[in-house]
Amino acid sequence: MIRLLGFFPFRCLLLALGVTGCVSVESSSLPTAGAPSSIALTDADATIIGRKIWQNECGGTVEGLTSWNAGEDFPSLGIGHFIWYVPGRPGPFEESFPPLIAYMKERQVAMPGWLAEARGCPWTSRQQFANEQQSPRMRELRQFLANTVAVQTAYIVRRLERSLPQMEQATPDPAGRGQLRANFQLMASGRSGLYALIDYVNFKGEGIKPEERYQGQGWGLRDVLLEMKPVGGGAAATAEFSAAAKRVLERRVKNSPSERGESRWLAGWLNRCETYQRGI
């Protein structure tokens, strides 16, 4: 069983997704002020969640592990479509691929030498990225990402572990902090709710960065938890989380700059939110 939200050992996550053998991952000492103390994720549920994240982000394909979406200035890599910025061209969203590589290095995961030494995305344009889809380096990267699904899942779980104190700190209103904590604990009390938290924090982040807002309104996990209406636990909670996430993302598209054309992504985002209601 994998213990979340505290100082705990990650037991072996065996994901039958191109991974040969187990990857053992140990957590570090993390800030836990205000975090629930007894949330757990079984190995079986970790397997299911890892598969669902890969399906949600990449269609479950190896090819989908290396993507560069139209209208974006960065590639999205791995099961979580982790962002990797081109040197000198940072963007408004949290860059998540370099921290993943750092996390892997901490756990002594073998990786291609060029990747370990990279100081930013080596592809400078979407066209170059597309032209090199069948290059030896790109094929090596896809194989590496396919073979490290377990540790990528553990990295996302650790991000959730750290998210509650960060989201509380970004919520100055005491009533809002109480609502945020209550809804987080409500969702984390069941396996389907925990999947929703893990997937959404990877999907749209914590919602704590000022840059990740349009017209003062964000779209991260914090925003969804604060958007939720009062409900009971179980299926009612996951259904309301799903509905709140849809409302938040629809608001994002409405508030977004027209030149970004974000409406083209909305249907896919809403379909992803539907998986939270269906659960695992």
- For 216-233, write each residue's pLDDT tens digit: 999 999 999 999 999 988
Res. 92 pLDDT band, cuts 50 70 90: confident
pLDDT in tens, 170-191: 999 999 999 999 999 999 888 8
- What are the φ/ψ torsions at residue 77 (nearest 5 degrees)? -125, 150
**Cα–Cα distance measured from residue 121 to residue 87, given in angstroms and rounded to the nearest whole number:** 7
Task: Put the strands of the sheet holding 66-67 in their side by side order.
Answer: 66-67, 76-77, 82-83
Distance CA 50, CA 38 (A): 21
* Residue 181 contacts residue 168 (beta carbons within 8 Å): yes
Q: What is the pLDDT of residues 229-263, one digit of tens each?
A: 999 888 999 999 999 999 999 999 999 999 989 99
Angle of the 43-58 helix axis to the 191-204 helix axis, nearest 10: 40
pLDDT digits (tens, 9 = 90+) for 11-34: 333 333 333 333 333 333 233 334
String of DSSP letters for 202-253: HHH--S--TTSEETTEE-SHHHHHHHPPP--STHHHHHHHHHHHHHHHHHHH
What is the rounded distance in angstroms from the CA atom of residue 84 to the CA atom of residue 23? 24
Q: What is the DSSP code string of 19-53?
A: --S-EEEEPPP---TT--S--EE-HHHHHHHHHHH
Answer yes or no: are the C-beta atoms of 81 and 155 closer than 8 Å.
no
Percentage of the chain surpassing pLDDT 70?
A: 85
Question: Is there a contact between 89 and 209 (Cβ–Cβ < 8 Å)?
Answer: no
Q: What is the mean pLDDT of residues 107-118?
A: 95
Contacts of 72 (CB under 8 A, 6+ apart): 126
What pLDDT sits at residue 40? 63
- Number of other CB atoms surrounding residue 18 within 10 Å: 12
- Cα 213 to Cα 18: distance, rounded to the nearest angstrom: 37
What does the domain layout of the chain look like in residue ranges?
1-162, 170-280
Query: What value does the mean pLDDT of the chain take?
Result: 84
φ/ψ of residue 22, rounded to 5: -105, 150
